[in-house]
Amino acid sequence: MTKRKPPGPQLAAVPGTTLLASPFASPLASASAASAMPSASAAPSAVAVRACETGGPHTDFKGTNINMRSTPGGNHAGTANQGDCAYWYQTDPGPRVQCPGGSSTTAWHLVQNKRTGVVGHVSACYL
C-alpha cells in the first residue's frame, strides 16, 4: 500500500480550481445537510442515514468509543465511533492488541476521523 501524508498546513493553488477549507468539505455538503434535516412533522423513519464512503483509502470504524492514539499504542488523541468514517493514510507496526473477535494484531492504521478531523493511530481491530 502507498503511504499518504496527513493533511498539512500548506495549500497550493491550482489554476482553474477552488480550494476547500477542509479536505473532506464538499460544495454540496451544506445543501445536503439542509435537505437532510427533518421537519417537525416528519417521521423518524423518513430521515435517510448516509453511509460512509468505502473503498480505497475510505473506511468506517468498527464499534464505539474507539481510542485514537498519537502513535501506535501511544497517548490518547481522540475518540471515534462507527459512522464517523475514516480516511486511511498508512499502516504501522505497534503493540499487539487483542481484538473483540478473539484474533490479535500488531497493525495500527494512521487515519483521520472525518467527523471530528482528528488524525491518529487506531488498532486494525477497529477498522
Name the DSSP letter for residue 5.
P
Residue 51, all three cell numbers: 453511509
Confidence of residue 10 (pLDDT cuts 50, 70, 90): very low
Alpha-carbon separation of residue 56 from 18, 74, 101, 108, 113 (angstroms): 24, 26, 24, 17, 16
Helices and strands of the chain, counted as H and E runs: 1, 6
Ranking 6-10, 28-32, 59-63 by mean pLDDT, the lowest is 28-32
Average pLDDT over the chain reads 73
pLDDT of 54 reads 75
Q: Please state the domain extents for the chain.
A: 58-126
Question: Cα–Cα distance between 110 and 104 in angstroms, integer?
Answer: 18
Whether the full predicted model's pTM is greater than 0.75, yes or no, is: no
- For 113, the 3-state DSSP assignment is strand
Name the DSSP letter for residue 51.
P
pLDDT of residue 84 exceeding 90, the answer is yes
Residue 99, all three cell numbers: 481484538
Give the residue among 124, 115, 62, 65 at the shortest CA–CA distance from 97: 124
- For 127, the 3-state DSSP assignment is coil
pLDDT of 5 reads 57
